Chains A and B, each alone.
Chain A
């Protein structure tokens, strides 16, 4: 494989340990795992302390949802972080961040179906069919399922060239997740818009013209 290709189109396969200072990569990964588990630990801790407001189901729903979205945005930031800032270590964090986003999204969905609606099919159907924000959220989750399932090295090998286009579904999933958030707040949409702006920037950085411009800028900067 020609070496130059790496600069413009990084391969989905995570960089081998030998291409990075091994220690740095390991530390970054360990930190990512730790940081991603903090919100869950806090949720359990606050639950045990009775600190989840007097409406704990709603609190659990909101916390897991926000964490899922934040992690999804971070996972989208990894590729541009490498490409724009030259942070190659970020590529090692993309998969764990994506998988933790999926974990929190699953907890979010479980809270909705099991804790909130008690698996009452009739009620859930009423809620899903009637509310556009539920449809957007559900859509985002459904898109994440095949991505989580095919995130292993084995599936990367098996899917080969098709792996990457498949995993571009995350762009749509993140956009739907933002829409889900925008549609469910009352009037003050500052926070959802913040996430929306982040997703827009991170997707914008992936547009070929933007990528080319940034690549030449980097080249010019490193030459000077």
Chain B
């Protein structure tokens, strides 16, 4: 893909991540062996989980730059919820190996003045790629810090000019059961569908992701195009996007259809709305032993809380 030549990975990829992979694996080993004896709970972050080096989390406000240690490439690319491939988190890395991401087009239409179909190369050329380190909070109670590469969703939407009737954005993912064995599961209504209110989609945090650690997105992470919505549970950040439609009615996502009492349209990270299975008041950062308190909107309240003024977030989970 020609667009990638512009990015020099050496500039962005923290080299220690690669150098420390060995040390990281030993760290995990030590943790697991420790499971035999139970002296573990007192440990803090594991040894070798990165080098403890911090990076600023986007957005970087003047004088107050939140710092986080990004997860390693290993962690981000071997632990994936990508049910199109498998419900087993380690399987997508293996099963997605042969997944074809070229050629790839994204059709943007619905209530817009200028509907268009973009080739991936075109998106990469037209929209400058920026690195943004975001927290990701999975509804299952684990979290990561990920240095994404991408461009604001807003820029793409402005390109096609939504009409005044457009109130929501509907995203549809690729459906290729012959390449994606998980799509043979009868328990889900494939393809994966997600949705946002238009004003949520226009928020600066909503990122269309094309890369990770300064490199093209690995297939198991949703290549070649996915969303990153850091204030919402991870499942809202749809992977393998092929279609984006501006619509006037609230789209029904795959998860809303599968379990309406568990997954709502908004799915904002909210420690006060419990889930029948997983703790939403705390989370485990991958690579750490002790749980952390989960923050409202995953710590992005300053950027997004205004979107939900007057909305009962307990009802609209």
Contact = CB atoms under 8 A, between A and B. Distances in A.
A132 to B, nearest CB: 7
Given A53-B89, A133-B276, A188-B187, A44 B33 contact: yes
Contacts, number: 98
A43 B35 contact: yes
Nearest to A52: B32
A184 B259 CA distance: 13
A75 to B, nearest CB: 24
A152 interface: no
B290 interface: yes
A187 B26 CA distance: 35
Interface residues of B, number: 39
A50 interface: yes
Interface residues of A, number: 36
Contacts of B41: 114-115, 118-119
28 contacts: A43-B32, A43-B35, A44-B36, A50-B25, A50-B28, A53-B78, A53-B89, A54-B28, A54-B71, A54-B74, A54-B75, A54-B78, A55-B286, A56-B28, A56-B31, A57-B284, A57-B289, A110-B38, A111-B35, A114-B38, A114-B41, A115-B40, A123-B281, A123-B282, A126-B281, A186-B258, A187-B259, A188-B187
4 closest A-B pairs (Cβ-Cβ)?
A47-B32, A50-B29, A50-B25, A50-B28
Interface string A56-79: 111010000000000000000000
B87 interface: yes
Contacts of A120: 291
A50 B26 contact: yes
A56 B281 CA distance: 21
B142 interface: yes
A187 B32 contact: no
A187 B188 contact: yes
B279 interface: yes
Contacts of A49: 29
A25 B302 CA distance: 69
Interface in B16-40: 25-29, 31-33, 35-36, 38, 40
Contacts of A46: 32
Contacts of A58: 142, 284
B45 interface: no
Contacts of A131: 276-277
B92 interface: no
Interface in B266-295: 274, 276-277, 279, 281-282, 284, 286-287, 289-291
Given A115-B40, A123-B282, 5 more contacts: A50-B28, A56-B31, A111-B35, A184-B277, A188-B187
